[in-house]
Amino acid sequence: MMFEVRKFSDHGANHPVVARLGAQSHELMKWIKLEKPQRDALGELYISTLMRALLSCHDTAATLAGRIEDALASIPKQEQSRVRHMPSVPKLKSDAETFLYQAKNFLRDQLVLLEIVDDKKFADAVCWTTEKKDNVLNWALEEFGEDDSLCRELRNDSNWILEVIRMRNAVEHPGGYSGHMLMYDFEAKEGAYIRPSWQRTGQPRCDILRNMDIILHNLLTFSEEMLVHCIKHRPQFPGMEVAEIPEAERNPDFPQRLQIVPGPKMLALMKVKPSDSPN
């Protein structure tokens, strides 16, 4: 399968999602021992489904950010101290709810990776957490053992994944098990404006855009790491490892995060000192 560099949803190759779920994933897949139909299905999942879905999440967040900035810019000059013009964000609630819907669907689609590579099917995004008895962690423990890096990854990521799912569930089923999802427009405090925020029942209130940025970062990194675990479990060439490119060293025109490099055993076979290995 050939990866074509093209513009997706107004995002070029310099967008981290295009670089990392597109070209980077295409390169990483070469190092997974798979039959051609599996490899093609994996390419379709990452490039046609996951990359596009995550770009849509970014688009929704960017749209909301634009509405917030427009609302601030529309405030007339405050000439009377007793009169305060409050900015208001149109479609704040619908944009926020759309973002949560897209994020939860991305997590659900990510499960298809396990179906392609391990022939293991899970039905719902919540299976990434321990909320359901039939979950990915329990399966991974039986399949790979307690000390496997996938099991550690799932334990580390379970809390934020579950919170994203509960936030969306609070929108879909308000007042249910996940409580309510509250949206707050601009508010005034001590002569300044507090930017729009949101809050799920029982959770701290937080700035919507900052929280969206964290979720977007987590979704992208999680998707990458799931592919890395496939390489570890099914290496095409044992001895090669995945290494992270320091952020300061990434090409800004194509900011890929991960690359394949020889591991210590491979370097020993090559009779090359670790310090001499390629960056």
pLDDT at 267: 82
pLDDT at 157: 97
Q: Which two tokens stand for residue 46?
A: 């990452």
pLDDT at 272: 59
pLDDT at 189: 82
Q: Which two tokens stand for residue 133?
A: 């008895």
In the block, tokens 């507090």 appear at 194
pLDDT at 5: 46
The total of other beta-carbon atoms located within 10 Å of residue 123's CB is 10
What does the domain layout of the chain look like in residue ranges? Answer: 16-74+85-174+208-237
CA distance 154 to 140: 9
pLDDT at 188: 85
Residuewise pLDDT in 10s, the chain (279 residues):
444 445 555 788 899 999 999 999 999 999 999 999 999 999 999 999 999 999 999 999 999 999 999 999 988 776 665 656 789 999 999 999 999 999 999 999 999 999 999 999 998 999 999 999 999 999 999 999 999 999 999 999 999 999 999 999 999 999 999 999 999 999 988 778 899 999 999 999 999 999 999 999 999 999 999 999 999 999 999 889 999 999 999 999 999 999 999 988 888 777 755 565 555
Helix (H) or strand (E) holding 199: strand 197-200
Residue 48's Cα: distance from chain center in Å? Answer: 15
Q: Which two tokens stand for residue 183?
A: 């949206």
Type of residue found at 166: R
| 189-197 long-range Cβ contacts below 8 angstroms, 24+ apart | 193/72, 193/86, 193/87, 195/68, 196/68, 196/89, 196/92
pLDDT at 190: 76
Is there a contact between 98 and 172 (Cβ–Cβ < 8 Å)? no
Is there a contact between 129 and 162 (Cβ–Cβ < 8 Å)? yes
Cα torsion through 133, 134, 135, 139, rounded to 10? 120
